């Protein structure tokens, strides 16, 4: 399911109709459509990946994540990962044809060390941010875990609140830049992990074997994700972030991972 969320160049044509439809949509959806079309149009012709538009307006997550942070995070940081990923893939067209998740899962098979590092950092950066944006929703649309996910959270952690506490600890303790994850482990159980830089739970042979699995939820704890509004108060950012988790998306991922 993650692969369907990554925009390849061949989807660009569809995005043109997105812009044409924008005038018919509510303000939030209109802004999101404009983000998508502008981002796609900015990508060089022939590049395999384009910046996916946000599924909401830049200010839709306020007050929990502010508009300027979203504009820079998405329009500058995420865009830079894609630019560097495309540049790396231009030298290896066979790898460029692979779905990004598959490429990241098979990084040890990439023989060139420098290329492997670039794919790890910038391919991971694209995959993680695309996943992150789709993990979020305006607070009024956050929803709650499905019955099946709620039962699994209770079974693994005791309660949703206990899960949030453990997840928050993992996110807080991640030294420097990185991510916190809620995953389904290969044994089918839910688990909380964290990863440095742009590593993620798909990366076999890169992250510890115990941290591999199907991601359900991710939290970006790079300072670029929160510093403008929260400065050094990462725990405050983490606590506020729970208000804008898209539990519908998380529940759908859980159902797909268990199917």
237 in Cβ contact with 225 (< 8 Å): yes
Residues 224-243: x/- map of binding to Fe ion (CB under 5 A)?
-x------------------
Measured from the CB atom, the residue of 153 and 229 that comes closer to Fe ion is 229
> Minimum distance from CB of 129 to Fe ion (Å)?
6
Measured from the CB atom, the residue of 222 and 237 that comes closer to Fe ion is 222
- 130 lies in the binding site for Fe ion (CB under 5 A): no
51: DSSP letter:
P
Which candidate, 188, 200, 202, places its Cα nearest to that of 259? 188
> Minimum distance from CB of 44 to Fe ion (Å)?
22
Determine if the peptide bond prior to 245 is cis (ω within 30°).
no
Q: How many helices (H) and strands (E) does the chain have?
A: 13, 3
Measured from the CB atom, the residue of 83 and 251 that comes closer to Fe ion is 83
Backbone φ and ψ of 215, nearest 5°: -70, 135
Measured from the CB atom, the residue of 100 and 149 that comes closer to Fe ion is 100
Measured from the CB atom, the residue of 130 and 220 that comes closer to Fe ion is 220
**Integer angstrom CA distances of residue 15 from 30, 33, 109:** 13, 9, 33
Cα dihedral sign, 179-43-50-140: positive
Which candidate, 30, 32, 25, 24, places its Cα nearest to that of 55? 32
Measured from the CB atom, the residue of 36 and 128 that comes closer to Fe ion is 128
> Minimum distance from CB of 181 to Fe ion (Å)?
14
Which candidate, 43, 60, 56, 32, places its Cα nearest to that of 7? 43
The residue within the footprint of Fe ion, chosen from 31, 164, 220, 250 (CB under 5 A), is 220
Q: Which stretch binds Fe ion (CB under 5 A): 27-35, 37-45, 91-99, 214-222?
A: 214-222
Q: Which stretch binds Fe ion (CB under 5 A): 81-89, 216-224, 228-236, 245-253?
A: 216-224
- 222 lies in the binding site for Fe ion (CB under 5 A): yes
- 49 lies in the binding site for Fe ion (CB under 5 A): no
Number of residues forming the site for Fe ion (CB under 5 A) = 3
- Residue 216 neighbours by CB under 8 Å, 6+ apart: 181, 182, 183, 184, 190, 250, 253, 254, 257
Q: Residues interacting with Fe ion, by CB under 5 A?
A: 220, 222, 225
């Amino acid at each position: 399911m993650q692969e369907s969320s990554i925009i390849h160049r061949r989807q660009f044509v569809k995005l043109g109709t997105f812009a044409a439809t924008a005038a018919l949509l509510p303000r939030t959806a209109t802004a999101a459509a404009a983000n998508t079309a502008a981002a796609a149009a900015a990508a060089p012709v022939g590049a395999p990946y384009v910046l996916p538009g946000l599924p909401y307006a830049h200010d839709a997550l306020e007050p929990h994540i502010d508009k300027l942070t979203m504009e820079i995070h998405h329009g500058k940081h995420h865009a830079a990962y894609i630019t560097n990923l495309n540049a790396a893939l231009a030298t290896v067209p066979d790898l460029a044809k692979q779905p990004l998740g598959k490429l990241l899962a098979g990084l040890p098979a990439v023989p060139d060390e420098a290329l492997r590092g670039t794919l790890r950092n910038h391919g991971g950066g694209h995959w993680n941010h695309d996943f992150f944006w789709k993990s979020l929703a305006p607070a009024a649309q956050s929803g709650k875990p499905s019955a099946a996910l709620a039962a699994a959270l209770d079974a693994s952690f005791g309660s949703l609140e206990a899960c949030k506490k453990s997840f928050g600890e993992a996110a807080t303790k991640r030294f420097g830049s990185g991510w916190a994850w809620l995953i389904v482990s290969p044994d089918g159980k839910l688990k909380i992990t964290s990863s440095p830089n742009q590593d993620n739970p798909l990366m076999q042979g890169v992250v510890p074997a115990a941290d591999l699995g199907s991601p359900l939820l991710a939290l970006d704890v790079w300072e670029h994700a929160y510093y403008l509004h929260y400065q050094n108060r990462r725990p405050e950012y983490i606590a506020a972030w729970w208000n804008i988790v898209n539990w519908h998306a998380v529940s759908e991922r859980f159902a797909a991972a268990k199917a």
